[in-house]
Amino acid sequence: MDELFGLSKFLLTLLIFVPIERLFAARPQKIFRRGLLTDLAFQFVNGWLILIGVIVIVTMAILVNQSMLPSAVKHMIDGLPYWVQVVLVILIGDLGVYWTHRILHAVPAMWQMHAVHHAVEELDWLAAVHQHPLDVAFMKAGSLFPLYALGFSTEAIGTYFLVYYWQAYLVHANVCLSYGPLRYVLVSPEFHHWHHSSEVEAKDKNFAGVFSFYDWLFGSVYLPREKKPKTFGVGHPMPSGYLRLLAHPFRVWTSRQRRDDQLSRASSSGVVRPGQDELTSRERSR
């Protein structure tokens, strides 16, 4: 039962990151911060919902591998040493994370899911789990589908899971860590904190999860020297509480669909009420 709820991993993570954040804090922040109980709900409930999505993604990827992947490609990947597979798996997986993450920011309907993650205004290690299950499933599809479809070994993909698990907590942690010259290669807490910043200059930047060079390569990096992010969040009020945050994208989608239907009916009847042809400032965002 302990393993089903991931309690052992959570306690180990807590014992590692809480002391580190006390010793190397990037910002003064309480352990029992705002939203802590909500994040604990994400930690222990989300996993069950995400698991369903992962099973579907992996099943579809394996079917593609068995029915469509050329045998020559299968043999080539099977013949690769474990460590070569690990490097390729992390590179491919993180490229998938980069582009799915960027899509979540670029497409307004997708952003409503991802905004749940960005709603965190006091960033620390536990913010890593503050994500809508649909958001996580979409990013898992981008990273895991190609890995299983190409037929990489279970051991190599398992290593990627382990690397990404710790990386996710580390880059959200409230620690002052920049990596020096390695900042051009690896995603550090400093790098990812800018991604969560509500400051205008940092908007829609730093999408990679492991390799920062993807952001340098695709022109989406923001990493100023001698400056630290001061504020986090989405810049407008978001719901509080686990269930309200789960419902948030559905409420926005329903509201916009209702508005579009009203505009469509008004347009077809030739009557447009004042203000109906304009989006509210809040709806314009994203």
Residues of the chain with pLDDT > 70, as a percent, come to 92
Q: How far is CA 269 from CA 13, 274, 276, in A?
A: 60, 15, 14
Cα–Cα distance for residue pair 184/191, rounded to 1 Å: 10
H helices present in 125-226, as ranges? 133-150, 154-172, 189-196, 213-217
Secondary structure (3-state) at 161 = helix
Residue tagged 């986090």 (tokens): 232
At 277 the pLDDT is: 45
At 281 the pLDDT is: 45
Instruction: Tell me the per-residue pLDDT of 7-31, one tens digit each, with 9 for 90 and over.
Output: 888 999 999 999 999 999 999 998 8
92 compared with 236, residue with greater pLDDT: 92
Cα–Cα distance for residue pair 138/114, rounded to 1 Å: 10
DSSP one-letter string for 44-73 = HHHHHHHHHHHHHHHHHHHHHHHHTS-HHH
At 262 the pLDDT is: 80
Q: What is the mean pLDDT of residues 76-82?
A: 96
At 2 the pLDDT is: 43
Buried (b) or exposed (e) across 105-130, using 16+ Cβ within 10 A?
Answer: beeeebbbbbbbbbbbbbbbbbbbbb
Q: How far is CA 147 from CA 31, 63, 138, 212, in A?
A: 37, 13, 15, 20
Cα–Cα distance for residue pair 149/61, rounded to 1 Å: 4
Instruction: Tell me the per-residue pLDDT of 29-77, one tens digit each, with 9 for 90 and over.
Output: 988 898 899 999 999 999 889 999 999 999 999 999 999 999 999 999 9
Residue 226: pLDDT band (50, 70, 90) is confident
Instruction: Tell me the per-residue pLDDT of 161-203, one tens digit each, with 9 for 90 and over.
Output: 999 999 999 999 999 988 999 999 999 999 999 999 999 999 9
Q: What is the mean pLDDT of residues 227-244?
A: 92
Could you tell me which of 41, 146, 22 has the C-alpha nearest to residue 92?
146
Q: What is the DSSP letter of 211?
A: B
Residue 273: pLDDT band (50, 70, 90) is low
Could you tell me which of 229, 192, 228, 232 has the C-alpha nearest to residue 209?
192
At 270 the pLDDT is: 64
Instruction: Tell me the per-residue pLDDT of 136-161, one tens digit each, with 9 for 90 and over.
Output: 999 999 999 999 999 999 999 999 99
At 165 the pLDDT is: 93
At 93 the pLDDT is: 98
At 285 the pLDDT is: 52
Q: Which two tokens stand for residue 54?
A: 């992962």
Residue 209: pLDDT band (50, 70, 90) is very high
Secondary structure (3-state) at 200 = helix
| pLDDT of 1 strictly over 60 | no
Amino acid at 126: L
At 9 the pLDDT is: 85
Q: What is the mean pLDDT of residues 71-96?
A: 97
DSSP one-letter string for 253-265 = HHHHHHHHHHHHH
Q: How far is CA 263 from CA 108, 266, 279, 283, in A?
A: 19, 5, 11, 15
| pLDDT of 4 strictly over 50 | no
